[in-house]
Amino acid sequence: MSGTATEPLVGRTAAELSSAVREGRVNPLDVVEAHLERIAALDGSVRAFQVVRPDGVREEALALSSRADLSRLPLAGVPVSIKDNLDMAGYPTRNGTLASPEEPAASDDELVRRLRLAGAVPLGKTTVPELCLWPFTETAAFGATRNPWNLDRTPGGSSGGAAASVAAAMAPLALGADGGGSIRIPASCCGLVGIKPGPGVVPAAAGQSTWVGMSENGPLGTTVADVALMLDVLAGTETYRTVEPPDRQLRIAASVASPAVGVKVHPDVKRCFDGTIAALRGAGHTVVAGDPPYRPTDSVPFLHRAFVGGAEVADGMRFEALERRTRSWVRNGRWLRRNRPPSQASADALRRRFQDWLGEGGYDLLLTPTLATPPLRIGAYQGKSLWPTIIGLTRFMPFAPLMNVLGFPAMSVPAGQTSDGLPVGVQLAAPRGGESLLLSVALLLQTIQPWQRLAPLDEDQR
């Protein structure tokens, strides 16, 4: 690993790096140089970054060294990657498309500003699918981002570049966004921890669509402690970083039943899921088979909002420069926005049904697989039109989107690997306000079934 003679710097957790910087054992410039070297060595194969800013990174690291408050900064000297749907001063926000404006952003998004104030150093912006629509990160304009665990597989999406940058040890932490699983899906694909907070915890990006209230910003990292710390910074709180395992017995509903009719869970995913149940029971918690009150029409409110959200993202872009499949999405969304805008009542009714089910069952949280299958192969949906893509992807990602409509906080936690070494995640979800509980259970899982934090990239994969 790159670093100094006494302090290896690449592959360390954010908590370890920030502690070393605060205590003066390493300086921020050494930290960012080591990560820039890692990016230079690996990103030609992985393609996690849309843009890397080496000169700006070095200048910020030097300036950070002289900050009077360095010893108090929670993310002192920690390199982070920023999803390319958020503004970072001096760089265009491309949203995975050449249809977007080329003009650089005049200022940082509030979340980027908060990260910098906390001592983090943004390395650059990470890749996304066009308009952040898909659970794979492949575009006609910028190519395919690959999973560091297996370069023939997707890292997920839409925060695919963000997850790949962390799994490949190019950054200890990444800022993502999740409108239908876009943090949790890549976290599962890349063996990471990722949390979608509930509404109002982390500020929405200024000037960006929230997908009719479904999208939330949040962190991806390799440990629960790192993710909890970054969530605190993003939220402007000191609530989550003191995470501890649960101090009481929990009652957990566990289900592999799919919200989408006819979807079956892959045997390797089921094996990892069952292992998580056994681990939680072994730790003294009550885990019962409890299928949520799904209905065949539950996907409608999500798709309705997602179509309209995609149309909102496309506002101000050159429609003719979008990919054919994306243009179909945007046409549908514009028609719905104009003629049948989404109803808040439908989301409220859905949320009441699930809250009542949790309450009546006495459940503290819900445990599901994050994904129904292992990560997709690169190019699995290349050239397919809109509806075949949407219907096909239902077999891959049936569990995540509903939590966005419900507004429930949800996170993906590593749960093992497939028979051929691909990561598998489980999803934890709780009613609004349950972020601390989710982090607590995730920390317990990290303690009792620890995971391999980083992808085993070797020379023949680079």
Residue at 44: amino acid letter: G
Instruction: Give the whole-angstrom CA distance, residue 168 versus residue 192.
Output: 11
- What single letter denotes the amino acid at residue 374? P
Are 218 and 177 spatial neighbours (Cβ–Cβ below 8 Å)? yes
Closest CA to 137 of 108, 94, 88, 192: 94
Whole-number Cα distances in Å, 86 to 40, 101, 111, 182, 354? 23, 13, 9, 14, 32
CA dihedral 88, 91, 95, 101 (to 10 degrees): 130
Give residues with Cβ within 8 angstroms of 308, minimum separation 6: 211, 212, 333, 336, 337, 341, 342
Q: Which residues are catalytic?
A: 83, 158, 182
The tally of CA atoms less than 13 A away on the side-chain side of residue 379 is 3
Neighbour count for residue 334 (Cβ, 10 Å)? 18
Q: Is the peptide bond before 158 cis (omega within 30 degrees of 0)?
A: yes
Q: Quick one: which of 441, 365, 443, 436 has its CA closest to 403?
A: 365
